[in-house]
Amino acid sequence: MQTEESTRGRAGYRFLDHTADVYVEARGASLEEAFEYAALATMEVMTDTGKVAPAIERSIEIEAEDRGSLLYKWLEELIAEFDISGVVYSRFHVTGIEEAEGTLRLKAVAAGEELDPERHDQRTGVKAVTYHMMEVEEQGDGYTLRFVLDV
């Protein structure tokens, strides 16, 4: 099923088959790590993140009422950021996902640089993240996220 993957131990991401769009599976030992790989996979759809230097750093905070919505908003933030500023990110550090009074709060730092067609691969633009087939699974040894990107 998978085509390209990046794994570190049991953590990483891979692309699964979906007719029209891009179907991603991201795994991590913690929910934070799974979110980091979800973001990295999303950026990989657009370009080879290996060539993107961590020149610009940005702090990101997201709030949502459940894990699915948190994942949606996290990726939406990064997709929108690219349209607005032209920045693609290649490093993600989710410092924490905490719950308080029924609200989940994600804090992260992302680093990357402005896409330069001279130096960076141009793959496919991501229009949006979708809730279609979205799953957030908790296993004994970590977390698996699955979601579809509309491209």
Partner 1 sequence: MESVPLERIGEDTWEIPVSFRDGMRVPGRVYADEELMEGMKGDRTLLQCSNVAHLPGIYKFAVTLPDGHEGYGFPIGGVAATDYEEGVISPGGVGYDINCGVRLLTTNMDAGDLEPRVRAVAETLFKRVPSGLGSQRKQFRLDEAELRALVEEGVPWLIERGMGRPEDAGSCEEQGSMAGADPEKLSKRALQRGLAQVGTLGSGNHFLEVQRVDEIYEPEVAKAFGIHGLDQVTVMIHTGSRGFGHQVCSDYLKTMDRAMEKYRVQLPDRELACAPAQSPEAADYRGAMACAVNFAFCNRQSVTHWVRESFQEVFRQPSEDLGLDIVYDVAHNIAKLETHTVEGVNRRVWVHRKGATRAFPPGSAEIPERYRGTGQPVFIPGTMGTSSFVLAGAPRSMELTFGSTPHGAGRVLSRSAAKRSFRGEEVQRSLRERGIHVLTDSMVGLAEEASGAYKNVERVVDVSHRLGIGIKVARLRPMAVVKG
CA nearest to 150, candidates 118, 122, 128, 120: 128
Among 55, 96, 122, 137, binds partner 1 (CB under 8 A): 122
Tell me how far, at minimum, the Cβ of 76 lies from partner 1, in Å: 6
CA nearest to 27, candidates 9, 48, 45: 9
Number of DSSP helices (H) and strands (E) in the chain, helices first: 2, 8
Closer to partner 1 by Cβ: residue 111 or 151: 151
Q: Does 56 bind partner 1 (CB under 8 A)?
A: no
Among 11, 12, 13, 15, binds partner 1 (CB under 8 A): 15
3-state helix, strand, coil in the chain (%, to 5): 25, 50, 25
Q: Which residues bind partner 1 (CB under 8 A)?
A: 3-4, 15-23, 46-47, 69, 76, 79-80, 82-84, 86, 115, 117, 121-125, 127-134, 148, 150-151
